[in-house]
Chain A
Amino acid sequence: MRTLTFAQAIEEALAQAMAADERIIIIGEDVHMLRVNLFARFGKKRVLAAPISEAAFVGAGVTAAMAGMRPVVEIMLVDFVGVAMDALLNHAAKTDMFSGGRWQVPMVIRAACGGGYGDGGQHEQSLWGWLAHIPGLSVVVPSTPADAGRLMLAALDHDGPVIFLEHKLLSDYWLEYMGRGGRTTVQFDVPAIGAKGPVPQTWRSLPLGVATLRREGGDLTIATVGVSVYRALQAALVLEKQGYTSDVLDLRSVWPLDKKALWDSVEKTGRLLVVDEDYQNFGLSGELAATVLEANLPVKYSRVCTAGTLPYRRELEEATLPNVERIVDSARRLMAAQ
C-alpha cells in the first residue's frame, strides 16, 4: 500500500476532482503558492489568488456556487472565519431553506485549524462546534491522510456548504509555516500516523457523517475528532495498563453526526468521555451528551476540552489543550464513578 502525507492526500484528491470537473475552482489568499502544484497545472483561472477580503470572496463563493461553480474557498486559518462569518451564517447556510429547497450552495470552505505550536489564541482555534451549530453547514475534521482525501471528495460532491478543517499538526506545510519556520530547535507533538499514512490507489469519497472506531474496548467510549483522536489513543494505551479498555470513536464529521455509532458504543460501555480540542461550553462535548441522553441510554459522562482562550506560553497552552494526562485522569474518575 502506498503512503502519502496528510497534505499530499488532500492535494491528490483535489487534483483528481479538478481534472474530472471543470466547475471546481480554488479561491483564497496566496493560493498561487500554497497550492502551487494545482496552480501550475490548472492555471490562474481555476486557482484564483484573492486579496485579503474574506467577507467578499467567501460571499462571492456562495453565489458562484449557486450559479453553477463548485468553489473551494480557502480562509487560511479557521480563526479568520470571523471576517467572513456573515457569508456562511446568513447566506451559505440559509439559501437551501429560503429557496424552498430549490437552490443549493455546493461550496467547500477549507481552513487550517488547531493548536499545539505556540502561535497564540487568535491562530490556533478549532471552532468546529461553533460552525456546526448553524443549521445548513456541514463540518468535517479528518484525522488521517486517507480520510482527508476521501472527505475532500465527499465535500466536493455534497450539494451544500461543507467546512473542511485540516489540523496544523497533521498538515506538514502548515506546521512548517506557522510553527517551525525552518528551525530544528522546536519540537511538536505530531501524531506520526496522522501526518503520513496509507492511502487508496484512486480516490473515492467517504460519505459525510460516518464515524469509525480507531480502537475497540468495553469499559468506556472516548469520542473525539482531529488530533485529539491520537491523544485519546495514547490515553487508551495507558488506561489499558491500568485495566480499562476503551472504544476510541473518531467522529470524522462533526456534522452530520454519526449518532448511531455513538449510541452503539455507549450502549456497550455505559461511559462516555468526550475529548474535544474545541471550546468546552456550548459545543460538541455537550452535544454528544445530549445525543446520548435523548436516546435514553444510561451513561456516565465526562469531558476533556479546551476550556478557554489558548494562552501563548507553551506550557500553559499544552495544559489548556486536551492532553493524554488530562484524558487519563478524567477516564479514571469516570471509571471510579458509581
Chain B
Amino acid sequence: MTDNQPDLWILYRRMLTARLFEEAVGKLWQQGRISGEMHLGTGEEAIAAGVVDHLTDNDALALDHRGTAPYLLFGGDPVKLLREFLGHPKGLCRGMGGHMHLFDPDKLTASSGIVGAAGPAAAGFALAAKHLRPDNIAVAIFGEGAMNQGALMESMNLAAAWRLPALFVCKDSQWAITTLSATVTGGALTDRAKGLGLKTFAANGSDVEAVWRAAGSAVNRVRGRSKPAFLYLTCSHLEGHFLGDALLKIARHPGKEMKEIAGPLIKSVTRIKGAGLSKRAASLSMVTNLIGKTTREQIFKPHDPIKIVRKKLKKRPTRLEVLETEVTQEINKVVAEALA
C-alpha cells in the first residue's frame, strides 16, 4: 500500500478470502451445521477490503448482522470465526453468540443484530479512543436501511458535537429485506450526514479501487483530527438478505414458489370487502415489481466486486491462478480445521 495507490493484488486476495470463506459458510449452513439465519456479505467484499485496509491495531469496529467479512479482514481468526458459526465451544465467543454477535475484545470489535446499533457502538468506541488511544478511530459499518433508525442519526450528531474520531460507513444495497429502502426514506442519505455536520465521502462500493481511495480520504479526515465522517458506498447482495431469502427463492424457482404463494393471494385479492380494484392492482403490481427487480439483479449480477477486480488482474493470468489456488487452499484448510 502506498499513499494513494492501492495494491490490487493484496486487496483481491483479501476479497477472495472473504468470498470463499463465506461460500464455505453457506455450504455448511445448507448442510444444517450452522443454525438460524445467515446473512452473507457476498457482494460487499470490496467495501470490507477497501475500508479495513486503512485501519490499524487498536482501531475499533462496530458491526451489524452482516459483519463476517469486515471482521475476518480486520484480522479475525478464521478458524475461531467458523467455529463460532458452528456453535463450537472453541469458537470466537465459545459458540454463545453466532454470526450476528461477533465480539472480540482484542480487536475492539462488537456486533449487534439490532439494526442501527452500530451507530452508538462506534460513538462509544470513538469516545474511548479519544481518551485512551488518540491515534485510533472507530468505524461503524451498516446498511442503508439502518439510516432510518433514530439511534444511528443521534450517534452521528453525538460524534459531530463531541468531535469524536468516528467513521460511519453506509453500504447501500437498495434493499432492507424485502423493502426497497428508497420507498421508505426521505431525502438523500449523504445530505442527512452533511446536515448533522459530518464531512461525507462516496464511491461505487463494488469497485475496490474506488472504495479504497474514498475510505482513505475519509479515514484521513477522522484519524488524529477528531472529526467524524460519513462514507457512502453502493453495493449489491449476491445472496439476497439472508440465505433462503423469500424474494430470491421466487426469482430462482418462479414456478414452484409462485404456486405456493398464488393460491392464497388470489383468494384474498378477490374477496368482496377491501380496497377498490385499482388499489388492489397497485398492490399486486408492486409485489410483481419487487420480484421482477430481484430476478433481473440475479440474472445480470452486474455488481459482483470480485469479477470487477479480477478483470483488471487478468493481464497476469499465471499470477492470478497462483493467488486463487493459494486462497482456495487456505480456506479449505480453515474449513477442515474448524470441522476437525
Q: Name A residues whose Cβ lies closer than 8 Å to a Cβ of B.
A: 15, 18-20, 29-30, 32-34, 36-47, 49-53, 55-56, 79-80, 82-83, 117-123, 176-183, 185-186, 311-316
Residues of B within 8 A of A33 (CB): 177-178, 246-247, 287, 290
Known contacts A33-B247, A41-B275, A178-B36; A83 and B101 CB within 8 A of each other = no
Contact B100 A52 (CB under 8 A): no
A51 to B276, CA, bound (A): 25
CA distance A146 to B264 in the complex (A): 19
Q: Please give the distance in Å from B112's CB to the nearest CB on chain A.
A: 7
* Nearest Cβ on chain A to B209's Cβ, whole angstroms: 31
A53: chain B residues within 8 A (beta carbon): 148-150
Asked if A312 contacts B184 (CB within 8 A), the reply is no
A183 B30 Cβ-Cβ under 8 A: yes
The reply to whether A52 and B116 form a contact with Cβ atoms under 8 Å apart is yes
**B244 lies within 8 A of A120 (CB):** no
**Distance A328 CA – B40 CA, assembled complex (angstroms):** 40
- The answer to whether A312 touches B280 (Cβ under 8 A) is no
Chain A residues near B149: list those with CB within 8 A: 52-53, 83
Contact A51 B148 (CB under 8 A): yes
A82's closest neighbor in chain B, by CB? B114
Chain B: residues with Cβ within 8 Å of the partner, total of 63
Flag if B244 contacts A183 (CB, 8 Å): yes
Chain A residues, CB < 8 A from B116: 52, 83
6 of the cross-chain contacts (CB-CB < 8 Å) are A32-B179, A182-B249, A312-B93, A312-B97, A313-B87, A313-B95
Contacting pair A120 B185 (CB below 8 A): no
On whether the beta carbons of A51 and B286 are closer than 8 Å, the reply is no
- Of A49, A56, A316, which one neighbours B150 at CB under 8 angstroms? A56
Determine if B10 is an interface residue (Cβ-Cβ < 8 Å): no
Interface positions of B from 117 to 175, Cβ below 8 Å from A:
145-146, 148-151
The distance in angstroms between the C-alpha atoms of A241 and B207, with both chains bound, is: 67
Whether A42 pairs with B275 at a CB distance below 8 angstroms is yes
Would you call B308 an interface residue if the criterion is a C-beta within 8 Å of the partner chain's C-beta atoms? Answer: no
Which B-chain residue is minimally distant from A39 (CB atoms)? B283
Residues in B whose Cβ lies below 8 Å from that of A118: 35-36, 87, 98
Contact, CB under 8 Å: A186 / B32:
yes
Which B residues are CB-close (under 8 A) to A51?
145, 148, 176, 179, 181, 184-185
Contact across chains for A311 and B95 when beta carbons are under 8 A apart: yes
B246 with A177: CB separation less than 8 A = yes
B287 touches which of A15, A32, A45, A121 (Cβ 8 Å): A32
Per a CB cutoff under 8 Å, which of A55, A177, A316 touches B95?
Answer: A316
B183–A49 touching, CB < 8 Å: yes
Residues of B within 8 A of A39 (CB): 283, 287
Return B178 CB to nearest CB of chain A, in Å: 4
Chain B residues proximal to chain A, CB less than 8 Å: 29-32, 35-38, 84, 87-89, 93, 95-98, 100-101, 112-116, 145-146, 148-151, 176-179, 181, 183-185, 242-244, 246-247, 249, 261, 264-265, 267-269, 271, 273-276, 279-280, 282-284, 286-287, 290
- Known contacts A30-B178, A40-B283; decide if A83 and B114 are in contact (CB<8 Å): yes
Question: A181 touches which one: B38, B88, B176 (CB < 8 A)?
Answer: B38
List of 3 A-B pairs having minimum Cβ-Cβ separation, nearest first:
A181-B244, A118-B35, A185-B32
Give chain B residues whose Cβ lies under 8 Å from the Cβ of A41.
268-269, 271, 274-275, 280, 283
Most buried by B among A42, A50, A180: A42
Given A52-B145, A119-B37, A316-B95: A32 touches B286 (CB 8 Å cut-off): yes
Chain B's closest residue to A184 (CB) is B32
Query: In the complex the two chains form, is A312's CB within 8 Å of B101's CB?
Result: yes
Tell me, in angstroms, the Cα distance from A109 to B302 when the chains sit together. Answer: 40
Q: Which residue of A lies closest to B100 (CB)?
A: A120
Q: Are A45 and B244 in contact (CB under 8 A)?
A: no
Q: A120 vs B36: C-alpha distance in the bound complex, in angstroms?
A: 8
A105 to chain B minimum Cβ distance, whole angstroms, is 21
B252, chain A: closest CB distance, angstroms: 10
From the candidates A36, A52, A185, name the one contacting B115 in the complex (CB within 8 A): A52
B244 touching A177 by the CB < 8 A rule?
A: yes
- In the complex, are the beta carbons of B87 and A45 less than 8 A apart? no
Contact partners of A122 in chain B: CB under 8 A: 100-101, 112-114
Closest approach, in angstroms, between the C-beta of B254 and any C-beta of chain A? 15
A34 to B112, CA, bound (A): 23
Contact partners of A40 in chain B: CB under 8 A = 265, 268-269, 280, 283-284, 287
**Shortest beta-carbon distance from A136 to chain B in Å:** 23
